[in-house]
A and B are shown apart, each in its own frame.
Chain A
Amino acid sequence: MSNAAGEEVHDVRLHVNGSVHEVQVPARRLLSDALRHDCGLTGTHVGCEHGVCGACTVLVGGRPMRSCLMLAVSAVDAEITTVEGLTEADGSPEGRLSPVQQAFSDCHGLQCGFCTPGFLTTITAGLRDNPDPSEDEAREMIAGNLCRCTGYQNIVKSVLRAAALRDGRGATSSGTENLEDA
């Protein structure tokens, strides 16, 4: 089987955010491109394509992985979570922001939003492993992701606030006036 460019393609079943995507991709297709262009999940962003910036980070089997350093064919049968899969069901079509997402809104943890999906997935996994990080640990948690807008100040605050929201410390409603609480 080949595609319009005459390349051999492979049937790949990707499990993303609880849904199954059957895609036909050449062996060289990056997971990041498959997610964005074959699955239509454009929330995962590509900032460098060499695994340094972390914008494309998704959770594969719950672990943060650089989707630009994985081939789509190698992700067969893995459970993948992208930024689109972070929201929590609350009966509404769009869902409720997860604690990590909500914390970014509360603390102004994002500006242009391009690197944000990689931070959100990374921190989601990080807080699962360490639910109550110190400030140093919060910094360590995000130390592999690049952001050019925020200077990281409010991202560190977002990590701490997300930890508080996860265990019910701090109101779940939004409001930047809560910024100092973080």
Chain B
Amino acid sequence: MTTKLFGTKVARVEDQRFLRGQGRYVDDLLHDDPRLLHSAVLRSPHAHARITDIDVSDVLDLDGVLAVWTYDDLTGPMAEPLPLLIPHPTLTHGRTQYALAKDEVNYVGEAIAFVVAVDRYVAEDAVSRIRVDYDYLEPVVGIDAARAAQRLVHDDVPGNVGARMEQENGDARAAIADAPHTLTLDLDIERSACTPMEGRGTVARWDPDTSRLTVWSSTQTSTGVRGCVAAKLGLDLARVDVITPDVGGGFGVKINHPWPEELLVPLAAMTLGRPVKFTEDRREHFISSAHERAQQHHVEVGFDDDGRLLGLNVEFWHDHGAYTPYGLIVPIITSTQLLGPYKPLNYRVVFESLYTNTVMVTPYRGAGRPQGCFVMERTMDAIAAYLGKDRTEVRSTNFIQPDEFPYEHGLVFQDGRELTYDSGDYPASLAKLKELVGWDEFEQFRAEMAAQGRRVGIGLACYVEGTGVGPYEGAHVHIETSGKVKVATGLTTQGQGHQTAFAQIVADTLGVRFEDVEITTGDTRKMPYAVGTFASRAAVMSGSAIHLASLRAKEKALRIAAEALEADESDLEIVDGVVSVRGTDASPGTRIDLGTVAVLSNPLRYAFDEASKAATQFSVGDPGRPPVAEDDEPGLEGKDFYSPQRSTFANGMHAVIVETDPDTAEITILKYAVVHDCGHLINPMIVEGQIHGGVAQGVGGALYERMVYDESGQLLNASFMDFLMPYVTEVPTTIDIDHLETPSPLNPLGIKGAGEAGVIPSAAVFAAAIEDAEGFPITAMPISPSELYALRLAHADDPAEAAEAATTTAG
């Protein structure tokens, strides 16, 4: 492959439409169709209640209202619970909600009734006129209440435990018992959420002329939605098309499916014979989509004088909210990816996944890794403090070494495959990070700042991220007779610049001009076999599939061109869309453009233009043979799938220098450094953009964002006024980034995923830096200035503890 665009900062093609206001997001669709109807959802105002009566009699006579659905109006599969998408055998007590609540509600925001009207305003008017009678039940809010199990979320789930899972490599408890040194830590992470700028949305149109249903959804998996819609509405799959238009960010939450509205909108469109739209508003996104992150951990660790991990035993409790449609993916990832770049000699992890009467939990960028990274890195810092060693030294002692790959952890990963790292160079990454942040010069800086009465701290955190999880993605490459190349892959796009990065791969692999390549994602009409965009998998999975499909198209192009040019295939090359005999000048008979090759690939009976004249049966082919050979097919196309045996593991390390105000406890970021290794970079500009965004989300998660539930299960900060998402004023003014490119041996391009990386080490790295500045342990994140201030007071009350903390964190 002649590498020209792979690895370069190619400007994004999608920007043109976005910058002109010509993007097409789901709420933009069908806006000029006068038949379009709008919907609104009545949601539970109570966290836990039995529904005794729903009275919709005041709704239907309202002008502009066409229909209202409650559970009693649902039939067949629609009346069954929503799918449990990932039915892990350990999930012994999985529960999912109904599209519309049946008898009971289990969180504030659960859908109860669905109204369709001429516009959203009228639909909301109607919703406010529905009367529901409830018997109130005491809610279970928070991990402590779930564990105490004095009340149950679901009557038939004892102890509120949806699943208990244990994995062990070696005998961690015995190793800890025998270890020269031991520590225990109790660590806590609160809830946050993806909060993409665009919420969820679905539009559906039933075409009675062709008996086809078209659904547009702001989803991370169009094929997943298609399967669910067909199954729930009792339609043949072939009658359902799902298209994901431009999507205003996902960050994980849009991978869950089907949302109630993704089924109710198509149901309404078919029932009413008119297109129907649902657009989630911001409050709805807070209370009726999904959250993540909340976990409590108890760690026991045994280590030697060097800080080598002899035994690590982690127990944790994961708050999965009211339902478990996405199974155990988040806590399984926490339990396995907690290990990061380290190799404890013995490791045991056990978790309980717990029900609470709160919004359900599904993956949010990082998907359980930020919690695992927080736990492991807090443990590393605690060991360093205990031994009085530099924190980087303890980490180095425990690193998997470059010559130890593939490294088997003896555990099973989220995809049911062995947790085996494919490649990496952690010592090199650490060396780069120390250089980038000025680790070795920091004590001098600390002294200088202290002389000015300023308090600073430095922290670092390392992570490994399983990316490119299977099972597969596919791609279809079609070279048209114009020479333009149309490429389809089935996974969806939420801002990652796939139309650019994938076109770079096609241009290089096929030998065509970048401008001639057009990429389509997330359209089941063009590629019905796909999984979705999550787990930093798009570049690895679809990128590889597109590369393989391009190779197939190229192979066919060379074969046909060789015949036309009467040359040997091995003597041909394709440059800028022209096949030519390598090393010859531009003389006729030595070159043929791909458009002409496409013409030749498709023997025609009818000529419809000049190009097609050249392909009629009178012009091409050997009269002694069938026009299309037995083992061939017409058209210049390539299709292939990429299905790796297991995930590829990216890694990285972050360091931050913070200043904490001695009076106000305000936390200011002075320097933020990132070393990132996601193998070969397709487009470094896009990768850096992903890191920037991840770091900003991480800053939010570490210092600002939390879901504040009161004891009755009300989410108190369900707005952008109260949920503190970072503005530009909260993020670092610069983020210093350095890359390592350790290729993955698992795919043809040597790439690893990059999407989630930026957010994974944030809680860990900020906790470390704040602890370093303050001199007492930070064990719970996020942390606000007032919480830091409270910690100062608590440690001031206990001078002995404060002094001890100050000395043990001096490393």
Contacts and interface: CB of A to CB of B under 8 A. Distances in A.
B28 interface: yes
Nearest to A142: B728
B81 interface: no
B697 to A, nearest CB: 7
Interface stretch (B147-155, B245-253, B383-391, B796-804): B245-253
A123 B15 CA distance: 17
Prevailing SS type, chain A contact patch: loop
Contact of B692 (A45, A146, A154): A154
Contacts of A43: 20-23
B495 interface: yes
A84 B20 contact: yes
B9 A179 contact: yes
A112 interface: yes
Contacts, number: 204
B499 to A, nearest CB: 12
Contacts of A148: 194-197, 249, 251, 693, 697, 725
B282 A49 contact: yes
B25 A45 contact: yes
B121 A151 contact: no
A116 interface: yes
Contacts of B696: 150-152
A64 interface: no
Given A112-B495, A114-B249, A101 B19 contact: yes
B16 interface: yes
Interface stretch (B137-145, B578-586, B590-598, B729-737): B729-737
B436 interface: no
A38 B144 CA distance: 50
Contacts of A108: 11-12, 685-686, 688-689
Nearest to B32: A40
Interface string B663-702: 0000000000000000000000110110111111100000
B717 interface: no
Contacts of B9: 176-177, 179
B460 interface: no
A5 interface: yes
Nearest to B494: A112
Interface stretch (A50-58, A70-78, A126-134, A163-171): A50-58
Interface residues of A, number: 69
Interface in A7-47: 7, 26, 28-29, 33, 36-37, 40-47
B625 interface: no
Contacts of B617: none
B685 A176 contact: yes
A155 interface: yes
Interface string A106-123: 101011111111001000
B497 interface: yes
A60 interface: no
Name the residue among A47, A49, A117, A150 with the largest chain B CB count within 10 angstroms: A47
B462 to A, nearest CB: 21
Contacts of B119: 5, 37
Contact of B728 (A87, A155, A177): A155
A47 B27 CA distance: 11
8 contacts: A3-B118, A4-B64, A97-B20, A105-B19, A114-B198, A143-B727, A151-B696, A175-B11
Given A7-B122, A94-B20, 8 more contacts: A6-B64, A42-B28, A52-B720, A53-B282, A120-B19, A145-B727, A148-B194, A151-B691
Give the top 7 A-B pairs by smallest Cβ distance, nearest first: A43-B21, A112-B495, A5-B64, A114-B248, A113-B18, A151-B696, A6-B63
